[in-house]
Amino acid sequence: MNHIFQAIWQHHLSCGYNAPFVLIMSIIVFNFILERVLSLLNASRYEAELPVEVADVYEADQYKKSQQYNKVNERFSLLTSSFSFLLIVSILTFHIFGYFDSIARSFTSQPILVALLFFAIIMLASDILNTPFALYDTFVIEERFGFNKTTLKTFIGDKLKGWLLAGILGGGITALIIWFYLKTQQMFWIYAWITVSVITLFITMFYSSLIVPLFNKQTPLADGPLRNAIQDFCNRVGFKLDNVFVIDGSKRSTKANAYFTGIGSKKRIVLYDTLINDLSTEEIVAVLAHEIGHYKRKHTRTNIILSILQTGITLYIFSLFTVNPLLSWALGAKVHSIHMVILAFGIIYSPITTVVGLGVNLLSRTNEYQADAYVKEYYDPQYLVSALKKLSSTNLSNLTPHPAYVFFHYSHPTLLQRIKALEK
């Protein structure tokens, strides 16, 4: 079969035309332009006057600092995105992916091993090229504005652990998908869907107990006024919660956060130690009530179901592309292989991913309103408002983002929108 593909490959080379290549390049250019336009629109609002509802978030000096922080991040984003854009265009133009594929094939002819070596080369090369940007972001920008608490040792440790997880999870899933494809051909997407769904459920249940400890220390919230206040609220709303943990977020940053994770008996709420330091007991309970609101409104369950359905649809569409050798050749490979199709499909499918992402963000913002409404119904919403204001001030958040940028990128409503909804 390969000799047939080789003949077609030579024909397309002689014609000098590959429709998938043109499509891939067009999508990359469009995505870059779209992101730059959205960023420029957002940057145009940095000097906007603060609405009266959020005018008390910043003192004058702090507001200037937040504007400067957002401007610096915008310029840095322009630099990194431009670098990435020029890099991927060069890689496609000069068939670097095909060269990586040849390197992988020089070691083995086994399809799964070739794919794993191919993606390992890409991951390593990408990480080497992007590490200087990550170092600058962490140790220059975040340090300059007082956020960074990461040491070089922690930074390197995170890198190594990230590689380990990518190898185990990413490599394992990739190997299984290719194995299913080799065994079942066009029906592989069903087996892959089932496998990915099981892994998704497993990670959702055990993320905090298996993955988080690799990076952070979690300790049960100590007995005291805060735990008593949390327990009193949980008892009042009929929410059984035995697992309240504090995570050492201050190990990396001064920014504060909280999140709900797990399902069933594995559910837990995790509070950053920085959150506990920055907020009052009432404000922390309000934040926790918001997280409980997500559970009570079944957002976690709904999101899991939608994620599984989206995965199945994506895998089915992907299965329709696996027989097309033009996708492999569009990336510069001379041998048709599923791992090259995976890479090409990821780019070609990105416009659909963007559209789906808009829907996901819209649903997420709706869920945030509902969780806030839960606080309004069962607790004092003013404590949530004051907590959100404090967190926005501490994190130097942009309080006047452009609506288009919010529409495309925000999974949460803006602070102004949340305050208006809570005070309605």
Question: What is the domain partition of the chain in residue ranges?
Answer: 2-204+297-423, 218-296
Backbone angles phi, psi at 259, to 5 degrees: -155, 160
Token pair of 410, please? 């925000």
Closest residue by Cα to residue 415 from 92, 66, 32: 66
Residues labelled as active-site residues: 291, 372
Helix pair 111-136, 338-348: axis angle to 10 deg:
40
Other Cβ atoms within 10 Å of 144 Cβ, number: 12
Q: Average pLDDT per run of 10 along the chain, which is 424 residues long?
A: 49 57 93 96 91 93 94 96 96 94 95 96 95 97 96 96 93 95 91 95 87 92 91 90 86 87 78 92 94 90 92 94 86 90 94 94 96 95 96 94 96 96 90
CATH fold label, 218-296: Zincin-like (3.30.2010)
Give yes or no for a contact between 415 and 399, defined as CB atoms under 8 angstroms apart.
yes
Strand partners, 268: 261
Question: CA dihedral in degrees (420, 422, 402, 284; nearest 10)?
Answer: 140
Give yes or no for a contact between 390 and 296, defined as CB atoms under 8 angstroms apart.
no
Question: CA dihedral in degrees (364, 367, 372, 377; nearest 10)?
Answer: 180
**CA–centroid distance for 377 within its chain:** 31
Token match 């949460």: residue?
412
Give the pLDDT of residue 48.
Answer: 84
Grouping H, G, I as helix, E, B as strand and the rest as coil, residue 322 is coil
Q: Which amino acid is at 173?
A: I
